[in-house]
Structure 1
Amino acid sequence: MNVINASITKMEEIEIFGIPALYTPHKVSRQTVHLGMYCYELQAAPEDWCQPRRLMNEVDEGFYGTVLTPVPVEGADGEGLAIGPEDFKDELGIGSYTPAEFEDKYLSPHYDPLRLEQIYGKAD
């Protein structure tokens, strides 16, 4: 299984439990997680590998992907937090960001989508 560097990889913006977050189908090296971001793994149910069923600190079996959030998600410790159909929204089409860009978008009072378009040649 590929382990990626979270600090330089663009990830899809999603929403989980109403929180804007970043998602990748790969495992993330915990040492590369951007400061201020919280790293969780998604677990799929054995009977349905197409949908995430639990948000956990680490998944041993049934790994579905990794989620980075700007705030901690209560209940994701231990056995994890069950994910219902409306809790994981991954087809929003918002865009893909590195954690630094994501943080800039949500935490910077000077966020400017035109600046991202100039840097990357397309709008987010």
Structure 2
Amino acid sequence: MEWIIAARIRDVIDTKLAQQQSGFRPVHSTLDQLLHLRAALTRPTPDSRTGAVFVDYAKPFDTVDHDRIVSAMREMDIPPHIIRWSASFLKGRQGRVRVNSKSSLPQCYSTAACHKEQFSAHLCSLSS
């Protein structure tokens, strides 16, 4: 089910993200950004000034706030049924830490998307 929802979310957000954004997008990479920077630096501009900002968030899946994701979905006009499903999917997420054969007690999380690659990537791009 995550793949279906991810595809629906992708269809909406890909048209709303800046063309230059590479993070959390298929067929985009750091190399794309480096090539854009190289082209900008070698292309003369009227004032010969070029600026660039590259942001790399450490552990983005671990810091995504669920409420922010749902708010961003509303702002981007994602269909309500997809918002409801995603909010339900994120609500009450639990995890444990296991070292060797010992496990911690379950912990509830209000941040972090599950690590289903496509679904999490789209959720992270919504919150940035």
> Who wins on radius of gyration, i.e. which is larger?
2
Q: TM-score if structure 1 supplies the norm length?
A: 0.24
More helix by share: 2
Q: Which has the higher strand share?
A: 1
TM-score normalised by L of structure 2? 0.23
- Higher relative contact order (CA closer than 8 Å, sequence separation 6+): 2
